[in-house]
Amino acid sequence: MDASAAGERAAAPAKGFGGKPWFWWPWPVLVVLDLWSKSVVFGFLAERYPHRVEAGRSHLVFDTAGLRFDLVAWGNTGTIWGLFQDGTLVLMVVRCLAVVGLLWFVRGTAPGARWQQFVLSLVFAGALGNLYDNFVRADRSVRDFLRFSGQWPVPWDFPAFNVADSCITVGAIGLFLLLWREDRAAARQRVS
């Protein structure tokens, strides 16, 4: 083996799952937080409003200065923002494939790429939290319970969401920004 081939091999990041704590440590904690929060809120609403069907349970937390926050017990059979309603089985397959894809992506991530590991962990945690609901709930819906609405600058109503949805959203935005930054750095390096 010549010296240039040995240098290229040494410079290439090692593939595998070892040495990536920024991926392995956050997601179990976030999955537990997601499942715990869903259980607590849905349990609270069932206890507080036993005479209402699950989808009709809502509890006002605050309504001040044009911002309203409610805890709700909504089952979402679609995906983010309620899109693709009643496509649950297809979405379950897509989510399972996404989990496998994320693991493949993590395997190829450099051990020193901490932020990339972390944002992948966020997306992974969100996918697992929502998949749990898909597989355990009788109607295969995902439990959403955080609902915000407001009056300023125009009346608006944000779709209900959960901790898993937040993890997926923040992780996806973070991954986009990291990849964008890497792309810009590579473009600058090609120019110079």
pLDDT per residue as tens digits for the range 41-61: 999 999 999 999 999 999 999
Which pLDDT score is estimated for 190?
Answer: 80
78 pLDDT band, cuts 50/70/90, is confident
Question: Count of CB atoms within 10 A of residue 189's CB?
Answer: 8
- Whether 70 sits among the annotated catalytic residues: the reply is no
Looking at residue 85, its pLDDT comes to 78
Q: Which helix (H) or strand (E) holds 187?
A: helix 163-191
- Rounded-to-integer distance, Cα 52 and Cα 61, Å: 18
- pLDDT, tens only, 131-167: 999 999 999 999 999 999 999 889 999 999 999 999 9
In whole angstroms, what is the distance from residue 22 CA to residue 20 CA?
6
- Which one of 34, 133, 157, 165 is the catalytic residue? 165
Annotated catalytic residue, options 2, 133, 144, 157 = 144
Encode pLDDT of 168-189 as tens digits: 999 999 999 998 988 888 777 8
Beta bridge partners of 63: 68
Question: pTM of this prediction?
Answer: 0.86
Q: For residues 110-127, give the mean pLDDT.
A: 96
Q: Assign residue 8 a region: left if phi > 0, alpha if psi is -120 to 50, beta otherwise?
A: alpha
Q: How far apart are CA 160 and CA 138, in angstroms?
A: 20
Mean pLDDT over each residue of the chain, to the nearest integer: 90
pLDDT more than 70, % of the chain: 91
Question: Residue 70: pLDDT band by 50, 70, 90 thresholds?
Answer: very high
pLDDT at 4 over 60: no
Q: Looking at the predicted structure, is the pLDDT value of residue 102 above 60?
A: yes
The structural domains of the chain, with segments of one domain joined by +, span 19-191
pLDDT at 12: 52
With H, G, I as helix, E, B as strand and everything else as coil, classify residue 148: strand
State yes or no: is 144 an active-site residue.
yes
Q: Is the pLDDT of residue 88 over 80?
A: yes
Would residue 108 be called left, alpha or beta, if left means φ above 0 and alpha means ψ between -120 and 50 degrees? alpha
